[in-house]
Amino acid sequence: VEGTEVRSLGGGARVTSERRGDGVTVVRFENPPVNALSGRLLALIAAEVQKAVSADDVRGVVICANDADGFFSSGADINEFGGFSQNSAEHPSREFLFYEMEKHRKPVVSAVNGICFGGALELALCCSARVATPAATFSLPELKIGLIPGYGGTQRLPRLVGLENGLRMMLHSQVVPQTKAEEMGLVDAVASPEHLIDRASQVVLDIDSGRMPKIVTSAYSDRLPSMNEAHAIAQKFAKDVMRLSQGGKIPQFQACLDTTLYGVAHGSTEGLLKERSVFVDLLQSPTGKSLIHAFLAQRATTKTGVPIDGKNAGECPRKAAVIGGGLMGAGIATAMIRAGIEVIIKEINPGAAEAAAKRVMKNLKSSSPPALLRVTTDFAGFSNVDVVIEAALEDVKLKQELFKTLESETNDSCILATNTSTINIDLIAAKIPKAHQQGRVIGAHFFSPAHKMPLLEIVRTTSTSNATINSVMKLAKKIKKTPILVGNCAGFCVNRMYFPQGQVADLMSTKLGINPYIIDRALETFGLPMGPFRLADLVGLDIVAAIGIIYGMAYADRSRTSSVANEMLKLNWKGQKSGQGYYTYDKDVRGPGKPDPERISEMFPSALAKDSPVSDDDIVDMILLPCVNEACRLLHEGVALKPGDVDIGSMMGMAFPSHRGGLLFWAMNERGGAGHVMKRLEHFYHMTDCFPLFKPSFALVRTAMANMPIGVNPTPHREFGSPDDVVVVAGYRTGMGRSLRGGFKDTPVDDMLAPLIQKCLETTGVEPDAVGDLVVGTVLGRGDSAVVQSRVASFLGGLPEHVPCKVVNRLCSSGLQSIADGVAGIKNGYYDIVLAGGAESMSLNPFVNDELQPNPKAVGNTASCYVTMGQTSENVTAKFGLSREQQDRLAVVSHARASVAQLSGKQKDEIVPIATSVKLKDSSGKEIKKEIVVDRDEGVRVGVSMQGLSKLKPVFKKNGSTTAGNSSQISDGAALVLLMKRSEAKRRGLTPMGTFKAFAVAGVDPAIMGIGPVAAIPKVLDKAGLTTEEIDLWEINEAFGSQADYSIETLGLNRDIVNVNGGAIAIGHPLGTTGTSLKQDRASPNYDPTTIIFYFSK
């Protein structure tokens, strides 16, 4: 090398020119990680080539790349395509490098090592010759993203390799290895990587000296056929074009064929102009925009925001184990074996093990077991694997036991993954707290068949470590899967997003009288491979029913079950596997099944309908827009990271047509965006008598109001606040114990309250003598006793004797009233810092006051003051027509949300573990004391269902509807917050958790006293200068499901943001405590904590 010049573009992109002693200049470019050819990089390459060929002592140029990562170049930078237009002078076909270079007198040769795709191959086609290594591969994959080759590929490639070879490469996005490329005439010489530049330089010299011809590709016609032959060749591809374009729906395939033939007929100059025009038209077409979006979204799935430095980096597993060798387990094993990973499959018996091995062999199309596979019936070798993927039956207890075994059989760094498609991963990991807290548990949800489907949902819990996430992301790359990182919930991202479609389809056929076959046909015409009924048959109606039970428990506010499907199962109609479902199947013939309206008409009278009362567009919207709605929830809750991930999940997981860009892209670009989608859903909601899956989600409504793109979560403008605002700087609570039988049944309120006082002071550094007052809400304790207990708690908690205390009793709102009183005292200057909260022992104080005698003068609403709370619940149901189902549904939601929060440890930072003791009786009946620690809410139950609650009898009224299941539990517990002005918090360096903005109370008819929020909430919103739509979170006290449900509906609150981590029905309702305990941080990271309002019934 005689001299080297380096031109840098920043970001790692640069071009280096090296002058060799033999008169050849080597122009080397790089743009990590895949050497994408951006416009600036192309211009720099062009300038260096022009400079070199203009020098008298240069005989020619070699263009090569820094191919350390296996890329000559991935092609053009697609991010820049948006700037191209028909009149754009920047279109690359007019660039020197793509239009003039081949006409230079001096030879320019490309030296290719690694991937040479798209625009990079078109760059190589402009060269006088191409030299490649055995590792080189070539492709023009532009049709995959809705385009045609736009840098001259449709014109130059057929001239070099022949029309038939060229069309095959382009139409099928064929990847051609070096050997095939050489055979076709695409490659002129081959060299090893270490000799590539020398060999390419020699080709330059051979062309310059006349020993090799200098080919001008666009003018080369030796391999072009006559027009008659060209049309005959094109006819060979007609069926391929029709199939690939889905019957002509996708334009780029026919456009590529037509543009190529145009160049054959009119010459390359006209052909290049035609190519440019068609390229830009496609680029600006709906299909082009959709497929480019899909391509970029797929590339972006690995951008998760998870730290990858140091200990967070993670290692790609080299040895793996799979539990279960069924269709899914064998498919997972196959994918890993193909990637060179050693795999152990664990099965339950020798017969199952043999079957598992055969499945893998069949997947690999091998007659013998692969060397990387070992199938066993024990756990031998598990201590050496890096990851275990459990693919057993969808049974919680089975998976829990398997994970207990895996924890003991594997090493302490082994990743424990589950392939569950619906079960909460925290629940599966509940039996292995050590491994879970180490961050080793994760979800690896493959789609069936696992060795073919490209998507992998990587499901993280709140405990999953960054290293575990990154290790599984690397595994996904190695086994050639597209990963999307999602959060933990029932159904995760893809299955949860799509659960509405089957339920809506059932409603449409049973309630609206729409023929199920017409529904399927409309969705299949739209572009889905199968409609919801055909899909249910494929999955299996028994599986669909089982999954429906899970969704019914997790999302009871909007999920509905199908009675018709259960009737079909009673007849053993399970779908394709039983030969009968919605369709009829010939067991001897593989096929999609035949409609059988007569057979199913007894259950689906609509199956005999010839016409639909709604249009095909309406059918598509009714099925898919609820899925869009659910996707908005996923993004708002942080389950999905970004809209592009949702789109990839919809395309790769549920076969949403890629030429529409994915579910959210389609909704945004073909259905008018958030505002129009919201209006369509509202229309369907009212059309179907308020079917809940059509009710717009909070996330969609907020997005529509802000006129933002679907999937974006806008936050309303917030004020910074005044220095005189009273803020919360700390807040802690106990776990809520079950009264009379829980951990606090023998614990006085002072022993529950004192540790909270200590914790508030310790975490903030506030001096005990700086506290101006202790205000405690309590209900059942006698006034004199309650204040004594509060005083005792203050001393036990470390407060000095000069700090006073008082108790407040506003029944269920006492805890909230205590905070309001503390705020008022600070604002009035009575003191600077207050501890305020509530404490209640419903175990140690009588719940019913037998000494209270009605006043004989009390009549009408005065007499109602003596009505018990349970009776008021029944009064609410009678007066406002609330059903038992409504109350039970609210209770199921309460338990579902509370159990998810508890399993994930969401409240662990707000709950102070309390050491105490309970009185028990031993086997002989002798009373003993047992030392325990209460560190969780004891009333939360996993798996509460509508079916289970329906079996409970009413408590307060014969033939009533208020039961123990849809009412709050009686509980013991305490909660406390530390209050001060914002200026005081700033002086002390404390960050406010929230600001106390406004407070209101309101009275209602005592007979229906639980609907107090309906009167109080409008008052406090008016005081705060806010509207219902501006609130991010609501907390409504669930004393009774009837009262809470009526308040929610009457106020028009969106249930997505009401009691997001469960309410009193699940968590418990220690009367004086609730108003404070529900104050704690209830939100997911995607909620803005600056405007959260809490209301409680009295």
Task: State residue 1097's pLDDT score.
Answer: 41
Alpha helices (H) in 54-142, listed in sequence order: 119-125
| Structure-block tokens of residue 984 | 């005081």
Task: State residue 1080's pLDDT score.
Answer: 44
Burial class (CB in 10 A: 0-12, 13-18, 19+), 782: exposed
Task: State residue 87's pLDDT score.
Answer: 52
Task: State residue 1096's pLDDT score.
Answer: 47
Dihedral of CA atoms 213, 214, 218, 223 in degrees, nearest 10, equals: 10
pLDDT level of residue 6 (50, 70, 90 thresholds): confident
By DSSP bridging, strand 387-390 and strand 319-323 are: parallel
- Does the structure show a pLDDT above 90 at 184? yes
The 10s digit of each residue's pLDDT in 189-223 is: 999 999 999 999 999 999 999 999 999 999 999 99
Burial class (CB in 10 A: 0-12, 13-18, 19+), 97: buried
For residue 33, cis peptide bond before it (omega within 30 degrees of 0): yes
DSSP string for residues in 299-367:
HHTT------SGGGS----SEEEEE--SHHHHHHHHHHHHTT-EEEEE-SSHHHHHHHHHHHHHHHT-S
Ranges of beta strands (E only) in 149-263 are 176-177, 189-190
Classify residue 697 by its DSSP letter.
P
Report pTM: 0.93
Task: State residue 1088's pLDDT score.
Answer: 40
Q: Which long-range contacts (CB under 8 A, 24 or more apart) does 858-861 make?
A: 861/1005, 861/1006, 861/1007
Ranges of beta strands (E only) in 631-740 are 726-733, 737-738
By DSSP bridging, strand 137-139 and strand 971-981 are: unpaired
Task: State residue 1077's pLDDT score.
Answer: 67
Rounded CA gap, 820 and 804, in Å?
17
Rounded CA gap, 333 and 680, in Å?
44
Task: State residue 95's pLDDT score.
Answer: 42
Classify residue 777 by its DSSP letter.
E
Rounded to 5 degrees, φ, ψ at 486 are -130, 165
Phi-psi category of 785—alpha, beta or left, where left has phi over 0 and alpha has psi -120 to 50? alpha
- Does the structure show a pLDDT above 80 at 1085? no
Task: State residue 82's pLDDT score.
Answer: 61
User: Among candidates 145, 150, 147, 149, which has minimal Cα distance to 166?
Assistant: 149
Task: State residue 783's pLDDT score.
Answer: 85
Burial class (CB in 10 A: 0-12, 13-18, 19+), 121: buried
| Structure-block tokens of residue 840 | 């209640």
Q: Which residues are catalytic?
A: 122, 142
pLDDT level of residue 67 (50, 70, 90 thresholds): confident
Task: State residue 389's pLDDT score.
Answer: 98
Burial class (CB in 10 A: 0-12, 13-18, 19+), 896: buried
- End-to-end Cα separation, the chain, in angstroms: 88
Task: State residue 1092's pLDDT score.
Answer: 47
What is the average per-residue pLDDT within 936-943?
A: 96
The 10s digit of each residue's pLDDT in 397-419 is: 999 999 999 999 999 999 999 99
- Does the structure show a pLDDT above 70 at 172? yes
| pLDDT, the chain, mean | 93
DSSP string for residues in 462-489:
SS--HHHHHHHHHHHHHTT-EEEEE--S
What is the average per-residue pLDDT within 1079-1085?
A: 43
pLDDT level of residue 649 (50, 70, 90 thresholds): very high
Task: State residue 501's pLDDT score.
Answer: 96
Contact 527, 249 (CB under 8 A): yes
Rounded CA gap, 876 and 586, in Å?
56
- Does the structure show a pLDDT above 90 at 847? no
Contact 117, 139 (CB under 8 A): yes
Task: Give the other-Cβ count within 10 Å of 720's Cβ.
Answer: 7
The 10s digit of each residue's pLDDT in 348-394 is: 999 999 999 999 999 999 999 899 999 999 999 999 999 999 999 99
- Does the structure show a pLDDT above 90 at 819? yes
Contact 432, 403 (CB under 8 A): yes
Reduced 3-state DSSP string for 120-133 = HHHHHHCCCEEEEC
- Does the structure show a pLDDT above 60 at 89? no
Using the structure block, give the residue that is written with the tokens 């005592």: 1006
Task: State residue 410's pLDDT score.
Answer: 97
